Amino acid sequence: MDLIVPPSVMVPCVFHRSPPTGGTSPALWANFYNAAFGGKFITNPTAAWTSAFVHEWLRTISKYRITAQSVTVELIASDLLNQGSIVAYQADMPPLTANATTVTSTTVDLRRDVYAYPDDPPHPSQGLIGSTGYTSKARDGCYMPLKLTRFKWQDSADSMVPINYDWVHQERDALSILVHTPTTALQFPWYEDRTGVTLDTLQSAPKLCGNNFGFIRLAGLLKGASVRVRVRQTVEVYCRPGMFYAPLLQPALPPDETALRMYFEVSGRMMDGYPASYNDLGKLKGIISGIAKKVLPYVDPALDFLANSSIPVVGTGAKIAKTVLNTGRQVAGIVKSSQAQAKSKRKPSASGR
């Protein structure tokens, strides 16, 4: 069983189960469509459902960006059934893009960007090589804060058309040799049945807020055990006039470049996943603070800024950025105090003149 965590305002989490080897059961997929915009948990979603969601999205939102996202997976089982393992990692998965493509010898000018993704994400054995991946027993679960790589505003009108290609051909002139037509099921990153969709009616979707994906795989689970999944996502949006979110609008705060820099420095050194119990107040704070104390003294000129700045953190990077800035200010104060003491010791005393 796999969970995929894309930086998507439309589908922040996907559940996927491959058919057993030699078995007759079909693959199962289910998408967590963003509930803030009329979405819900849909098993084997269709192109019609996605189209309805995107229509509501475009009607409501003009600009958007993700500022925080995480998923928590917990195994619900008795002591006799809490078997199995869990693997989690994050990977950069940029799509291939083109304006027009050849699909099964039929040339189609889509007049909009096509984003081609591979059929499936890398196998966990590949994803863990040289990474900060997480492995544990299934009963420990997993808490994965997605490492965001982009905080720029996205325009809702600038949509994307996802389509799949074969991993085997990724080194070639990729989009000229796609092996899947748009009438088949869309696979990674959103699993969706597109049966009946024609080449000129491809369903578009909001663009992703980055290329970093999270992957969680549970293996060896016993029959009778169940899994609880909690998805959390924070999104900033510009709402269109007259929509239900319009009364809540307020001017966006200016970007805090120091907070962004601190977020990227610390998140890049964090593990890709932690035990599910870490999704609790204070559990992850010590880890973040420990990384920050090692990193921040070498991030210049951030120290001088942090020591003297009272500018609050803008809603970017959420809790991590706030913790990093607070730790940065403490570290900066310690460094300045130590420098001042060292300087005073170097001064000759009055009696020594």
pLDDT digits (tens, 9 = 90+) for 303-352: 444 444 444 444 434 455 555 555 555 555 544 555 555 555 555 444 43
Residues 236 and 259 in one domain: no
Residues 133 and 193 in one domain: yes
Which of 219, 236, 252 marks a domain boundary? 252
In angstroms, the CA 288 to CA 320 distance is 7
215 & 128 share domain = yes
Domain count, the chain: 2
What is the spatial distance between Cα 280 and Cα 285, in angstroms, rounded to a whole number?
Answer: 10
**278 and 162 housed in the same domain:** no
CA distances from 22 to 28, 121, 217 (A): 16, 22, 20
Last residue within a domain, chosen from 201, 218, 252 = 252
Mark whether 21 and 149 lie in a shared domain: yes
Q: What's the pLDDT score for residue 303?
A: 43
CA distance 322 to 316: 9
Whether 97 and 224 share a structural domain: yes
pLDDT tens by residue, the chain, 353 residues: 899 999 999 999 999 887 666 555 667 889 999 888 888 899 989 888 888 888 888 888 999 999 999 999 999 988 888 899 999 999 999 887 765 554 544 555 555 567 888 888 877 777 676 678 899 999 999 999 999 998 889 999 888 888 877 654 444 454 554 445 667 788 888 888 888 777 667 778 899 999 999 999 998 888 888 899 999 999 998 888 877 777 877 877 777 777 788 888 888 888 899 999 888 766 777 787 777 777 666 554 444 444 444 444 444 344 555 555 555 555 555 445 555 555 555 554 444 33
CB atoms within 10 A of CB 353: 5
* Nearest-5° Cα angle at 327, 324 to 332: 120
Regarding whether 277 and 236 lie in a shared domain, the answer is: no
Domain carrying residue 340 = 253-353
| Judgement on whether residues 18 and 141 belong to the same structural domain of the protein | yes
> What is the pLDDT, as a whole number, of residue 283?
77
| Per-residue pLDDT at 56 | 85
Overall pTM surpassing 0.75 (yes/no):
yes
243 lies in the same domain as 331? no
